């Protein structure tokens, strides 16, 4: 049923919970997990790029993305095949493009459950992926605990 599972990660606290879910599914279906983080190349006002040049910002974002992919992959049991990928662009669009190109069967991603002004200002990558994905999306709530 599932041969390729996509695990998008931004390195948030709580991603280990999402990794546990995808690891369990991967073991059950003998699937490959594709851990993916996206270097957000947009000059976004809520990011730590204020006052940084574009190249400095993207270098810092690439380091964050590589660390996030490594941490997520390390959280998945050793008997599960894991591919690590870092892409650049608009996060939700890159996730969907990757899912299509890699013939992903299921996307398993965390959601922070932001509401109110945070949701309005920051938006929800998970929400965009759920609405636009051609494959099923399993969302796992990431809590502050």
Lowest mean pLDDT among 42-51, 71-80, 90-99: 42-51
CB 40, CB 28: distance < 8 Å? no
The 10 Å Cβ neighbour count of residue 99 is 23
Query: What length does the chain have?
Result: 145
The CA–CA distances, whole Å, from 121 to 60, 107, 114 equal: 22, 24, 10
pTM of the full structure:
0.86
DSSP code for 142: -
- Gap between the Cα atoms of 115 and 123, Å rounded: 9
Pairing of strands 4-8, 106-111: parallel
- Kindly list the strands in the beta sheet with 106-111, ordered across the sheet, starting from the edge strand earlier in the chain: 82-89, 32-40, 4-8, 106-111, 137-141
CA atoms in the 13 A half-sphere facing the CB of 69: 19
pLDDT of residue 6: 98
What percent of the chain has a predicted confidence (pLDDT) above 70?
82
pLDDT of residue 78: 83
What beta strand segments (E) does the chain contain? 4-8, 32-40, 82-89, 106-111, 137-141
For 14-72, what is each residue's pLDDT tens digit? Answer: 888 999 999 999 999 999 999 999 998 875 544 555 555 667 878 888 999 999 999 99
- Gap between the Cα atoms of 116 and 123, Å rounded: 10
Q: What angle do CA 135, 96, 42 make, to 5 degrees?
A: 155
């Amino acid at each position: 049923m599932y041969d390729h599972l996509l695990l998008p990660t931004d390195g948030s606290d709580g991603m280990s919970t999402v990794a546990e879910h995808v690891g369990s599914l991967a073991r059950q279906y003998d699937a490959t997990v594709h851990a993916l983080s996206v270097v957000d190349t947009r000059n976004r006002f809520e990011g730590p790029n204020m006052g940084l040049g574009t190249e400095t910002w993207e270098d810092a974002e690439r380091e964050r993305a590589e660390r996030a992919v490594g941490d997520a992959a390390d959280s998945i049991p050793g008997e599960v095949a894991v591919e690590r990928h870092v892409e650049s662009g608009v996060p939700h669009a890159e996730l969907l493009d990757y899912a299509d190109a890699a013939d992903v069967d299921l996307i398993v991603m965390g959601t922070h459950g932001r509401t109110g002004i945070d949701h309005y200002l920051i938006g929800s990558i998970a929400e965009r992926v759920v609405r636009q994905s051609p494959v099923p999306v399993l969302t796992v709530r990431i809590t502050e605990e």
